[in-house]
Amino acid sequence: MHWIDPDCLPEVEGTFERFILNPHGEVDGFVMKPDGRTAILVHTPPHLESELTRHLSAGDAVRVRGVRPRGADLVAAVAITSSDGRQIIDEGPVPDRKHPKLKHQPMAAEGNVRMSLFGPRGELRGALLSDGVVLRIGPKEAESVATLLAPGAKVAARGDGAETQHGRVIHVLEIGPGPHALKPVKTPKPKDKTKSHAEVRAA
């Protein structure tokens, strides 16, 4: 949203808690706690990762200007101001930016959902567990298991995971209310049993 003038947007102040990761292991948001209110999710584009991780630390005061999508407890940030006054503005992605090369491996997790995770337009994209593990699921698949991604829900998941300096993230392939009740997040496509015209003629 680099086309939006951040000065025209409302500002939210709070305390920075932790970064949120996308399936590639990149920072694409953080959790902040406004004074006297419940912690909220702030979405940031991955191309701001280096500046955010350089200027934000747990316990820091932070100010965010952004937009709020309908139906999601989220601020999609356009500008972030750190405790030392550094302003980080979304000016758009760098051309040919590449994802980090992290070692991915099979990984599992279970626990209680602390908060749901959303994309910048408010689309459900996963959950943050109470122990800090980030679960990521595509928006179409996430909607079908929304009850398991809601705050307070008990959830177990297995998938393709990565460990970073900012925590663990799992691209979920199987999910359920417990480790013995996991189901694939994507339903396998049924095999087409109909024969082509060429196969019929050859028979």
Average confidence (pLDDT) over 154-161 = 97
Task: Read off the DSSP letter of residue 96.
Answer: T
Q: Look up residue 199 and give its amino acid.
A: E
Considering only residues 195 and 50, tell me which one the structure prediction assigns the higher pLDDT. Answer: 50
Architecture of domain 6-89: Beta Barrel (2.40)
Contact 149, 176 (CB under 8 A): no
pLDDT of residue 101 exceeding 90: no
State which H helix or E strand residue 173 sits in.
Answer: strand 167-176
Same fold, 6-89 and 104-184: yes
Angstrom distance (rounded) from CA 9 to CA 158: 39
Topology, domain 104-184: OB fold (Dihydrolipoamide Acetyltransferase, E2P) (2.40.50)
What pLDDT is attached to residue 187? 64
Tens digits of per-residue pLDDT, 47-70?
A: 999 999 999 999 999 999 999 999
Domain borders along the chain are: 6-89, 104-184
Tens digits of per-residue pLDDT, 13-52?
A: 999 999 999 999 999 999 999 987 899 999 999 999 999 9
- With vertex at residue 90, the alpha carbon angle to CA 5 and CA 29, rounded to the nearest 5 degrees, is 120
What pLDDT is attached to residue 51? 94
Contact 117, 153 (CB under 8 A): no
Contact 73, 60 (CB under 8 A): no
Tens digits of per-residue pLDDT, 73-88?
A: 899 999 999 999 999 9
Would you call 83 helix, strand, or coil by DSSP? Answer: coil
